[in-house]
Amino acid sequence: MFVMVLLAACSGNSTDRVADSASSDSAKKEATLPLQLIAAQEALYEVIDREAKAEILGSGYAWTEGPLWIPSEGMLLFSEIPANRVHAWKQGAEDPEVYLDPAGFTGEGTRGGELGSNGLLLDPEGNLVLCQHGDRRLARMTAPIANPAAEYETIVGEFNNQRFNSPNDAAYDAAGNLYFTDPPYGLEHRMEDPAKEIPYQGVFRYSQAGDLSLLLDSLTRPNGLAFFPGGNQLLIANSDPDKPYWYRYSVAEDGSLSQGEIYRDASDVGAEEPGLPDGLKIRSDGTVFATGPGGVWIFDPEGQELGRIDVGQRCSNVALNETEDVLFVTADSYVLRIELK
């Protein structure tokens, strides 16, 4: 049973990814966004303070995703997918600035849909890696982090001579092997797009040695993923309204996945709250922060649901700072910072 703690009057939930321009302009004048903590257990307040607030770092975007904290620069990067850009917010700055343009589609001409970059991460050498929807590949920015340029090289772009759908999110394991999901969201017409070449929505592993393998073809909409501490288990979000689940898999020594099980079924709240299981991060103590219906879900290291952070917007993804006491949230037209305990 949930106990709702109302911290402030919550703004209306977003039903579309493109926010109303008038409300976005108004939000720019506000320093914080009202939120609610919805507690499943009292232990939620050992992770986040009862009076926590969501500080607005930026607003007025079409749809934000892929937040990534860069400790060396004191900088947060995030994707604005429809605008085909990556933005950067630096500590002490009043507003984010454009960091990369273009970020996900670098081809000739124009196209619609979610063409920008999605997930962002650093490779073992500290280079920026982008899940590029429009170019349908995993790519590496060839310029240094501190001096960015929209110049990319392909890490991997096809499987068995078939182009990916649109790589969505990715994570490196401790040995430097790259795991990523490939749903259809970046295709202009999604499942019905004539350019779709792979008939399923896969989860892949690109090894440090350069070998690409298909790990799963059974998930309907694989999305965010992250390793639990120790790297022996992998959590994957499935962004399907008919199967709004988080799945947990065991990771074998050869990198293959087995013993898949539903970690949490969100269908009991999915019809009432906006959003679906999407991006997620796992803290070094095993605490899970996963965006889903109604905000950011928090699970303890044993997998027990502690509660949710509801910011009144559909949330897409999260990131942690290096000390893991700040949670960054991309939420519809906003980018937010929330202090943790």
> Strands of 137-141's sheet, edge to edge?
117-122, 128-132, 137-141, 152-156
Q: Which residues pair with 180 in a beta bridge?
A: 170, 204
What b/e readout covers 37-49, taking b as 16+ CB neighbours within 10 angstroms?
Answer: bbbbeeebbebbe
CATH number at residue 192: 2.120.10.30
> For residue 340, what are the contacts with CB-CB under 8 A and spacing of at least 6?
47, 48, 52, 324, 325, 326, 327
Q: Are 310 and 295 in contact (CB under 8 A)?
A: yes
- Please give the pLDDT value at position 30: 63
- Please give the pLDDT value at position 263: 97
Distance CA 204, CA 121 (A): 16
Q: What is the pLDDT along the chain (341 residues), one digit of tens a residue?
A: 333 333 332 333 333 333 333 334 434 446 998 899 999 999 999 999 999 999 999 999 999 999 999 999 999 999 999 999 999 999 888 899 999 999 999 999 888 899 999 999 999 999 999 999 999 999 999 999 999 999 999 999 999 999 999 999 999 999 999 999 999 999 999 999 999 999 999 999 999 999 999 999 999 999 999 999 999 999 999 999 999 999 999 999 999 999 999 999 999 986 778 899 999 999 999 999 999 999 999 999 999 999 999 999 999 999 999 999 999 999 999 999 999 99
Rounded to the nearest 10°, the torsion over CA 213, 215, 218, 220 is -80
Number of neighbours of residue 220 by Cβ within 10 angstroms: 14
> For residue 218, what are the contacts with CB-CB under 8 A and spacing of at least 6?
none
- Please give the pLDDT value at position 73: 97
Domain that holds residue 316: 3-339
Domain count, the chain: 1
- Please give the pLDDT value at position 160: 98
CA 266 to chain centre: 17
Half-sphere exposure (Cβ direction) of 203: Cα atoms closer than 13 Å: 27
CA 92 to chain centre: 24
